[in-house]
Structure 1
Amino acid sequence: MVFRQAAHTLADHALVPRPTARRKPALAFTRRRLLHGGALIAAAPAIKVLTGASPIEAARAQAAPVDLKWRHGLSLFGDVKYPEGFKHFDYVNPDAPSGGAVRQIGLGTFDNFNPVVSGVKGSIALAVGLIYESLTLPSLDEVSTEYGALAESVAYPDDFSYVVYRLRKEARWHDGKPVTPDDVIFSLDSLKMHHPQYAAYYRHVVKAEKTGERDVTFTFDAPGNRELPQIVGQLMVLPKHWWEGTDDAGKRRDISATTLEPPLGSAAYRIKSFEAARSVTLERVKDYWGLNSNFNVGRNNFDELRYDYFRDGTVALEAFKGGQVDWRTENSAKNWATAYDFPAVKEGRVVLEEFPNRSSGVMQAFAPNIRREKFSDPRVRRALNFAFDFETMNQQLFFGQYTRIASYFEGTELASSGLPEGRELEILEPVRAEVPPEVFTAPYSNPVGGSSEAVRANLREGMKLLKDAGYEVRGGKQVDGKTGAPFEIELLAEDPSFERVLLSYKPSLERMGITVSIRTIDSTQYENRLRTWDFDMVVASWGESLSPGNEQREFWGSRAADMPGSRNIVGIKNPAIDKLIERVIFATDRADLVAATHALDRVLLWNNYVVPQWTYSKVRTARWDRFGRPAEMPKYGLSAFPALWWYDAGKAAKVGNRS
C-alpha cells in the first residue's frame, strides 16, 4: 500500500511521488498487515446469484448471520502493538506544549482545494490533506499497522470478502455536524468516479452501504485479498452535505471541479487564509472533536501551519536562509554539500539533521514511454542504460553522496538479489516462458562507468544493442534500418534545477548517435502531458512501502497503462507481470509476500523498462532551531515533521525574531 503520499519536489536526489492522498506515503509510507480474526461467512453449497449482485453479495445474502470480532487496529500478517484503549503512541510526547507557528516551503503553484480531482485537474494545495481525517491512522513504529481515527473499530470475516467500519459517535465536521456513514459512502463513490488513480485503487470495492447507525460495510469483488480491509481504512472522508450544498454566492458546489473555496474538514486543522498560487495557512481547530483521542495525543501541536510557494528551488533556498521559512527538506546533494555554510548554521541557530529512511523503498529512473514504438524493444531500453554514466555524474554533480538503484524496491528487504531460489523460484516457474531468460540465469546489475575505459566499453555495448534492435548509423546518427527515421528523444522536465542532470546524460546518448532535446515546462503543462502520455522520456519515481500490494497494479499493471493519470507512466503491458502482481496481492504470509515481491522485482528489472538513477538512505533536513521533538523518533516516521514536533518558545527566543 503506498497511496497516501506527500507532495513531490524535483531535485537531484529523490522525487517524492505526486500527491494522491492524505498520508502515505509516503504517508506516508506505512501500510498493510491485517489482523486475522472474525468468523468466516459460510457459503451455501450452491449459490444463486442475485440480479445485480456480486458473487460475494449473493453469498452474504444466503449465509447464516455471524458475529464478527470487532478490532481497534489492523495489521497484515501480525498482531498490533497497542492494546485497545491505549493512551497514546509511544513515540509522541504526551506533554508537548501547544502553540506557535511553523512556515514551510511549497514548490510550484496551486489552484485547487478539491482532493477528489487532484492529479486530474489543476494543482492541489499542499495543505488540503491535513484538514481531513480518514477512517484509520498509521502507526509510525510498526510495519504498516493502522488504528482507528474516524472509525472506532473494524470487523471482517476470515475470507476478507468484506469489512465493516464503525464510526466514532463523537466524530464531527468543523461545522459541528456528525460524520456519518453517508459521508463515507459519498467519499468512496466520488473518488472512484472522478479520480482515475482512486478508481484503480478501490476498484475491488464493489459496494459500500450503511448497515447500522454508525456502520459502513464495504463489499469486495472476491475473497482472499488481505489488504483490502486496510486499504478501505485509508479512505479520506469528505462531507457530503457540504459538497452537495451551495457556496456563499448561492452556487451549487461541484465535486468534479477544481475550487479555491476552503472546504469543510474534520481533522485537527482547517484552512484559515490563502493567496492563490502563493501561500496557504492552516489553523488548529480549538474545538476539534479528536483533541484528546489516543490517536491525536502529542500530535498536531502547532497553532498554525503556513506553506509559502516558490516557483524556483533556488529562490526557496534563499528564502530559508533569509529566515522567511522555518523548515526545509533538502533533496539536492550539491546544496547539502555547499549551500549551508551561512552564519546562522555556524552560530547554531540553524540545525542540519539527517533522519534515516526505514519505512520505504524507491525506484527513481529515466522513464521512457514504451507506448511509443521506438522504446518498445527491451534492447533499446538497455542501450539507454549503457549510455548513463552514473559514477561520473555522482562524483561531478552529487559529491559522491548517492548509490545506484538496482531494484524497484531499493532500500528494503523486498529488493531481489542473486539468483531466484526456494519460494521465489517456485513463484517464477509458471511464468518462465513469458519472462526474459536472464531472470533465471543472472543477477540483475546496471552498467558501471566512472572511467574513460568503462564508458567507451558501455557505449560500444549500447551501440551493439541498438544494431541488434534494427537501428543503423547513417551520417553519425542512429536511424531505423527499415524506415530511415532518426532516433530522437525529448527529455521532458518540470523543474529547472534538474536540467543539469539531463544535460549530463545528453552527451552520452548523442555519442551513440541519438538526437536529444531537453524541454522544461511549467508544472501544469507537465501534468497534462503525463496524463495524456504525451512524452518520450521523463524522470519518475515510485515510492514503495514495506508491504506492497494493490498499488502495484496502478504502477505496473496492464489495465493502468491506458488509464489517463495512472502511475503506470512507462506503459507496461505484460501478462507475466500482471500474474506476479496478483501473487504479491494474495500472499499468504510475510515470507510469501517477500518471495513474490522478489519475483516481481526481478522480472521488472530484466525487462529493462527504465534506466535506474540513484537514492540516499536518509532524509536531509534544515530548520531554524525554534522547535522541540520527542527524544526517540518513530522508526518508520522519517522526520515526522510537523506532526510530532512543537514550538519551543525558549529556543525561539535564542534564535531571534522571524523575518
Structure 2
Amino acid sequence: MTVASAGLTRRAALQLAGGAAAFAAMTPWAWAAGKTGLHGLSIFGDLKYPPEFKHFDYVDSDAPKGGRMVFQPPYWYYNQNPQTFNTLNGFVLRGDAPPRIEMIFDTLMARADDEPDAVYGLVAETVDVSADGNVFTFHLRDTPRFHDGSPLTAEDVAFSLTLLQAQGHPNIAQVIKPMASVEAVDPRTVVVTLDGTQNSETILTIVDLPIFSKAFYTDNAFDAATLTPPLGSAAYKVGNLSAGRYIELERVDDYWGKALPVNVGFANFDVIRIDFFRERQPAFEAFKKGDLTFREEFTSKTWVQDYNFPAVDAGKVVKSDFPGEKRPSIQGWMINTRRSKFSDPRTRQAIGLAFDFKWANRNLFFDAYARQVSYFQNSDFAASGLPGSDELALLEPFRADLPADVFGEPYVPPDGDGTGTDRAILRQAADLLAAAGWTQEGRFLVDAEGNRLTVEFLLNTASLEPVTSLLVGNLKRIGVDASLRVIDPAQYQLRTSDFDFDIVMFAVKFTPTPLDGLQQIFSSQAAATPGTFNYAGISEPVVDALLERMTEVRSREELMALTRSIDRVLRARHYWVANWYLGKHRVAHWDVFGWPDIKPDYAFTPETTWWFDRDRAAAIGKAG
C-alpha cells in the first residue's frame, strides 16, 4: 500500500547542480550592491517612494486621533490565537498570544502595503549594501526610545535578532537561519551579515522583525509564558487586559516616531481593544450589541441572512465589501502524511473527491465562493495549462521521480454535481482506495493487516461543522470510518504544533513576492520541525530542490516558474482537500469610522489606518 519514495535520481541531482550556475549568474540584490545611504529596499529595485516622501499614498495624513476600535482580529501570526491568550510573548512556540501584540514593537524598516516587496526606514534611517549583497549596514536614527524613556540602540537590535534566531518561533528562526551574524559596531550602527544561502526576501523579513529591549529581557526570560507586559517602543503599549478575555492596546501620545513618513496617518485610535471568543456566534452577538465595533464576516449564511437586526435597519451598522489583496493564498484541509495510512497519494485523492464543493457553495455559502485549486491561488504564481518552457527546464531533470501528471494540465478537483453525493465521483474515490490496497470488511475499509481506515477532522470551532460534516458523510458512504472533533483553542494549538491529528484546516496568505515562508509549509525540514505550518508533512526531495533554487531568484519571472513548478508537483501528489476563496473582504461595522480613499493592493489593516469619526458616532449616539 505504501508508494515508493520520491527521491531524486543521481542524474537529476547533477542536472540541477549544472543548471544552477546559469540561474545564479547575477549577484543577490544586484541593483543595490555597493550602494550606501539607501532610504528603502526592494527585492527587484522598484521603489515607489523617493527619499523625501511625506507619507504613503494609502493613508490620510490628516486623520484625526482618538476613540476606540473593538474587534476580534481576522488573521494572526506565529503562536497567536484569536480565541484565547495566556501569554504576551507572540514570537515563541510556547503558549497562546494575543494577535496584534506585535504593534507595541518597532522594526528596522516598515513595509509599504501598496508595493509587493518594498520597505522604508523606520528605526533605521538608511542602509548600505555590500558589493556581494550579503552585508547590510543599518544606520539608526538618533531619536528611537522605549516606552520607559530608555534609548533604543544598535545593541537592542543585535540582541533581538540574535534572540529570535536562537529562541524564536520556528517560523521565524528557520527563515532567518541564513543570518550569519549581527553586530552593533556603535550605538547607531548595526551590521547584518548573511551567509550566502539566503533568498532575496530574507533581509526584508529581518528588517520587519520586532526590536526588543535588551535590558528588559536580561531581567525577564524570553521563552517564558508570561502576562507581564513587554517593554516596547512603538505607537502602542499594553493597557488593560484579562487573560483569555480581552486586551487593550493604548496609543502612546509621545511616541518618538509618530512624524516619520512611514508612520504618518497610522495609529489613529486611542485604544485598540481585542476581545476573544471561542466561537463565531457569541462574537456576532457581541457585535450586534455594540460591544464590538468592527467585524469581518467569514460565514456566508450570517452575511446573507443575519444582518437584519435593529441597528442595521436604523443605519447604525454598515455592511461593506473591500477588494481582496493581490497575494497568493492557500486554504484547505491538510492531510497529515506522517501517518502511514495517508502515505499513498491515491488514498489522499479519494478523500478529496468526497467533497462536493458545488453543493456546499449553494447550500452553505450562498454561492459566494470560487473553488480553490492551487497552492498559490488568486495570483500569477499558480500553475495553469501545460508547463511552459521555463517550468519544463526546472522539472525535466526530475521526470523519473515525478508522476506523469506533473507534465500535463495541473490537477483540478471536480466540484461535484451539486447533489452532495455525486455517485460517479464517489465511485471513482472508492476505486482509488481499492487501488491503494484498502479492502471492504463489513461496513469499513481495512488494510492488509486489518487496520481500519479512520479519518478524524480536527476543528477548533463549531462553525466549520456543517461543511466538514458533508465530507465526513461522503467518506462514510465509501467505507471510511470518518469523524470530526471540535476541541478548545488551547488544545488545538498544542495538537497542531505537535502534528497530532489526521486532518486540519489551514489557511494562509503569502507575501506578494513569496520567497520566504514557502519552506515553513512545503519543505522536508519543516515537516520534521514542530510548530511549523507544514501540517501535511510534505517531504518531497523534488520540492526541496526547487525550494533551494529560491536563493537564486533574480526576477519575478524566475520566481513564477519556481512556484508554478512546485504547485504542479504538490497538486499531483494530493496533499490536501482544496477549499474555497472569496477574493474580497466582507466587513460590517458600527458607523463610527472613517477610512482612507485608497485601499492598498497588498494589505487590509483597518486597525492601523482607519480612524474614529466623532461626528458619525454622535449621529448614532455611540461615544468613543
TM exceeding 0.5: yes
Greater CA deviation, 187-196 or 597-606?
187-196
Tell me, what secondary structure is at the counterpart of 1:551?
coil
The residue correspondences of 1:168-567 to structure 2 (distance < 5 A) are 168-194=141-167, 195-222=169-196, 225-245=199-219, 253-452=220-419, 455-480=422-447, 482-567=448-533
CA drift of 1:192 comes to 2.1
Corresponding residue to 2:31 among 36, 46, 52: 36
Q: Hey, what does 1:77 align to over in structure 2?
A: 44
Distance 1:421 1:216 in 2: 44
Partner of 1:584: 550
**Corresponding residue number in structure 2 for 1:645:** 610
Q: Residue 345 of structure 2 contacts residue 575 of structure 2 at CA under 8 Å; is this kept in 1? A: yes
Match of 1:154 among 127, 136, 145: 127
Q: Closer, same or farther in 2 for the Cα pair 1:601/1:159, shift >3 Å?
A: farther
Q: CA deviation at 1:280?
A: 1.0
Counterpart of 2:116 in structure 1 is 143
C-alpha distance in structure 2 between counterparts of 1:231 and 1:263, whole Å: 22
Which residue of 2 is the match for residue 130 of structure 1? 103
**Deviation of residue 620 (structure 1)?**
0.9
Q: What residue ranges of structure 1 are gaps of 5+ in the alignment?
A: 1-32, 40-67, 246-252
**Residues 96-115 of structure 1 mapped to structure 2, 5 A cutoff:** 96-105=63-72, 107-115=82-90
Q: What residue in structure 2 maps to residue 46 of structure 1?
A: none
Look up the match of 2:24: none
Q: CA 1:157 to 1:363, structure 2 compared with 1: closer, same or farther past 3 Å?
A: same
Distance 1:417 1:306 in 2: 43
- Hey, what's the Cα distance between the residues in 1 that align with 2:213 and 2:191? 18
Describe the SS at the equivalent of 2:304.
helix
Amino acid in structure 1 at the alignment position of 2:613: D
Equivalent AA in structure 1 for residue 529 of structure 2: M
CA distance, structure 2, for counterparts of residue 353 and residue 391 of structure 1: 26
Q: Deviations over 1:531-550 (max 9, x none)?
A: 22111111112322221113
C-alpha distance 630-281 of structure 1, shift in aligned 2 (>3 A): same
Distance 1:399 1:631 in 2: 30
Question: What is the aligned partner in structure 2 of residue 595 from structure 1?
Answer: 561
1:4 counterpart residue number:
none
Larger deviation, residues 355-364 vs 641-650: 355-364
Provide, for residues 212-258 of structure 1, a one-character-per-residue CA deviation record: whole Å limited to 9, x for no partner: 4312112222167322222211121111111112xxxxxxx211101
Q: CA deviation at 1:157?
A: 2.4
Q: Within 2, Cα distance between the matches of 1:503 and 1:491?
A: 9
The aligned counterpart of 2:10 is none
Following the alignment from structure 1 to structure 2, what is the Cα–Cα distance between the partners of residues 443 and 243? 49
Greater alpha carbon shift after TM alignment, 337-346 vs 188-197: 188-197
1:126 to partner: Cα distance:
2.1
| 1:491 to 1:309, Cα distance in 2 relative to 1, 3 A | same
1:35 Cα deviation from its structure 2 partner: 7.3
Q: Deviations over 1:349-383 (max 9, x none)?
A: 11111111123221111111100000011111111
CA deviations 1:374-396 (Å, max 9, x no partner) are 00111111111111111111111
What is the SS of the residue equivalent to 1:426? helix
Distance 2:218 2:321 in 1: 45
Q: Distance in 2 between matches of 1:366 and 1:350?
A: 34
| Structure 1 residue 116 displacement after superposition | 3.1
CA contact (8 A) 1:584 1:597 kept: no
Partner SS state of residue 507, structure 2: strand
Amino acid of the structure 1 residue aligned with 2:164 = L
Q: Tell me, in whole angstroms, the C-alpha distance in 1 between the residues paired with 2:242 and 2:540.
A: 46
Checking the alignment, whether the CA contact within 8 Å between 1:414 and 1:594 is kept in structure 2 is yes
Structure 1 distance, partners of 2:563, 2:130, is: 26
Query: Taking structure 1 as reference, are residues 307 and 353 closer, same or farther at Cα in structure 2, changes over 3 Å only?
Result: same
Equivalent residue pairs, number? 588
8 Å contact from structure 1 (residues 160, 228) kept in 2: no
Deviation at residue 323 of structure 1 after TM alignment:
0.9
- Please tell me the residue identity of whatever aligns with 2:340: E
| Deviation of 1:314 (Å) | 0.4
Task: Give SS of 2:91's match.
Answer: helix
**Shift in CA distance, 305/181, structure 1 to aligned 2, threshold 3 Å:** same
Q: Deviations over 1:146-195 (max 9, x none)?
A: 11111111222243222222221111111111111221122122222222
Residue 198 (structure 1) shift: 1.5
Counterparts of 2:30 and 2:580, CA distance in 1: 36
What is the match of residue 91 of structure 1?
58
Does the CA-based 8 Å contact 1:156-1:229 persist in structure 2? no
2:600 is equivalent to residue 634 of structure 1: yes
Q: Secondary structure at the match of 1:364?
A: strand
- Show the counterpart of 1:9: none
- How far the C-alpha of 1:450 sits from its partner, in A, is 2.5
- Using the alignment, how far apart are the partners of 1:407 and 1:153 within structure 2? 39
Question: 1:571 Cα shift?
Answer: 0.7
What is the one-letter code of the residue matched to 1:236? P
Distance apart, 1:104 and its partner CA = 1.4
Alpha-carbon distance in 1 for matches of 2:172, 2:158 = 14
**% of aligned pairs identical?**
39
User: Distance in 1 between the 2:467 and 2:246 partners?
Assistant: 29
Counterpart selection for 1:116 from 81, 91, 96: 91
Helix, strand or coil at the partner of 1:345: helix
Give the letter for the 1:656 counterpart.
G
Contact 1:160–1:229 at 8 Å: present in 2 too? no
Q: Deviations over 1:473-511 (max 9, x none)?
A: 12131110x201110111111111111122121110001
Two-structure CA RMSD over aligned residues (Å)? 1.7
What is the alpha-carbon distance in structure 1 between the residues aligned to residue 29 and residue 306 of structure 2? 45
CA distance in 2: counterparts of 1:632 and 1:235, whole angstroms: 26
Asked if the contact 1:34/1:74 (under 8 Å) is kept, the reply is no
CA distance in structure 2 between the aligned counterparts of 1:403 and 1:223, rounded to whole angstroms: 38
Letter in 1 for 2:181: K
Is the 1:279–1:306 contact (alpha carbons within 8 Å) kept by the matching residues of 2?
yes
Residues 80, 457 of structure 1: alpha-carbon distance in 2 compared, 3 angstrom cutoff: same
Residue 655, structure 1, aligned to residue 624, structure 2: no
Q: In 2, Cα distance between the equivalents of 1:356 and 1:619?
A: 6
Query: How far, CA to CA, are the matches of 1:433 and 1:542 in structure 2?
Result: 32
Paired with 1:105 and 1:180, the residues of 2 have a C-alpha distance of 34
Q: Deviations over 1:409-428 (max 9, x none)?
A: 10111111001012122121
Q: For the residues of structure 1 that align with 2:192 and 2:36, how far apart are their CA atoms? A: 16
Query: Compared with structure 1, are the counterparts of its residues 475 and 600 closer, same or farther at alpha carbon in structure 2 (3 Å cutoff)?
Result: same
Residue 620 of structure 1: aligned partner = 586
SS at match of 2:606: coil
Shift of 1:559: 0.8
Kindly provide the amino acid, as one letter, of the partner of residue 441 in structure 2: R
- For the 8 Å contact 1:116–1:255, the answer to whether it is kept is no
Q: Distance in 1 between matches of 2:615 and 2:87?
A: 37
The match for 1:609 is 575
Q: Is the 8 A contact 2:357 2:415 kept in 1?
A: yes
CA shift digits 1:600-643 (9 cap, x unpaired): 111111111111011100011111011111122223233x3021
